[in-house]
Amino acid sequence: MKKKVVVGLSGGVDSSVAAAILLEQGYDVIGLFMRNWDSTANNDVLGNPGLEDEICAQELDYQDAEKVAKTLNIPIHRVDFITEYWDNVFTYFLDEYKKGRTPNPDILCNKYIKFDAFVEHAKQFHPDYIAMGHYARVVHGEQTMMLRGVDDNKDQTYFLSQLTEKQLEKTLFPVGDLTKREVRALAHKYNLSTKDKKDSTGICFIGERNFEKFLSNYLPSIPGLMVNEANDVIGEHNGLMYYTIGQRKGLGIGGSNTHGNRPWFVIGKDLEKNQLIVGQGFHHPTLYSDSCLVDDVNLINIGHFEGTIACTAKFRYRQEDNEVTIEFVGEELMVTFKEDIRAVTPGQAAVFYQGDVCMGGGFIKEVYKNNERRKY
């Protein structure tokens, strides 16, 4: 009997080609389309695109997924995970912004929606595996390992770093061995309707929009002062939640006789005073740190080890690998950098690697320089 796979069909080219590859490999393939955001229920009338446009975009994605399923002659089902997304992803997203941190909802979306709620729903079809169109690889054996995707520019292991070995054991990533160009070529070969469709961007399942307007639907904006390290008032901010460490764009600070024309960057936040701390120069020393504390630790097939492990780390998506050592401090990880790193930001993910193997990761809780906590 053919092994059965339920594949997440999003209406995009990557998942479309993933389904086609699985069919070619001899699997019995079922498509499942997820709808995780209800603009009407959430009264998202200030976002960009508008409510009507967004509903249309969601429906178009489903129609594209249907067309792909028809071309491949596979069944497709649709399911709503709106409540699960709100409870497990979006509330976390809002809570992190309230704390002045910069969250990454895509990581929790993978953990709780695509590889949890999706898996539970897919059980009714009795699959041997579930599959997604992510650029990553899984090695199934005595130990399940997740490897970077072959395409360095598209590798998505950063966003999959909270998955456990149990979640990965029954997971396939059919496009992980391909480059994006090869995926597009296969989409043309199979004559899939998504072959020239643009990649989706923006917040996981929420998409592109005017971020400040969108966030203001759920959190009140509290304007305040922008100050430098000498506490000189440099300008005003629209709300601390709209800014991240190392940011230059959107500060609205021009040159002055007092401070000169060098560009300004966000170098810290003071939540108690509601002040945004800014400094001049891309390489402002306050932006650099030598270690950080990571919580919500998920290490794939690595237990609570003793001592230290040498590895590399990414603190932002598409960032170059940084040499670090990691060691447990209670249930958290202390990460020590071989060289100082710029703009390591609380709330962002820290993801660890040994070569191509993704070891897992966690979320940055605190950032340090010379054992002093940065005011981020």
245 vs 284, 306, 368, CA distance in Å?
11, 32, 14
306 vs 54, 300, 312, 360, CA distance in Å?
50, 16, 18, 17
Q: Alpha-carbon distance 174 to 132, whole Å?
A: 7
Residue 333's H or E segment, with its range, is strand 332-342
Q: Which among 56, 109, 311, 358 is annotated as catalytic?
A: 109
Q: Which among 204, 292, 311, 358 is annotated as catalytic?
A: 204
Q: Alpha-carbon distance 367 to 376, whole Å?
A: 8
Structure tokens at 39: 């603009």
Q: Alpha-carbon distance 351 to 370, whole Å?
A: 22
Burial class of residue 369, CB neighbours in 10 A (0-12, 13-18, 19+): middle
User: Is 204 designated active site?
Assistant: yes
Residue 6's H or E segment, with its range, is strand 4-8
DSSP assignments along 71-121, one per residue: HHT--EEEEE-HHHHIIIIIHHHHHHHHTT----HHHHHIIIIIIIIHHHH
Going by DSSP bridges, is the β-strand pair 349-354/332-342 parallel, antiparallel, or unpaired?
A: unpaired
b vs e for 129-155, b when ≥16 Cβ sit within 10 Å of the residue's Cβ?
bbbbbbbbbbeeeeebbbbbbbbeebb
Q: Alpha-carbon distance 293 to 102, whole Å?
A: 15
Q: Alpha-carbon distance 320 to 96, whole Å?
A: 25
Going by DSSP bridges, is the β-strand pair 308-314/322-329 parallel, antiparallel, or unpaired?
A: antiparallel
User: Is 109 designated active site?
Assistant: yes
Counting DSSP H helices and E strands in the chain, the numbers are 9, 18
Instruction: Report yes or no: 139 and 348 within 8 Å, Cβ to Cβ.
Output: no
The catalytic residue positions are: 109, 204
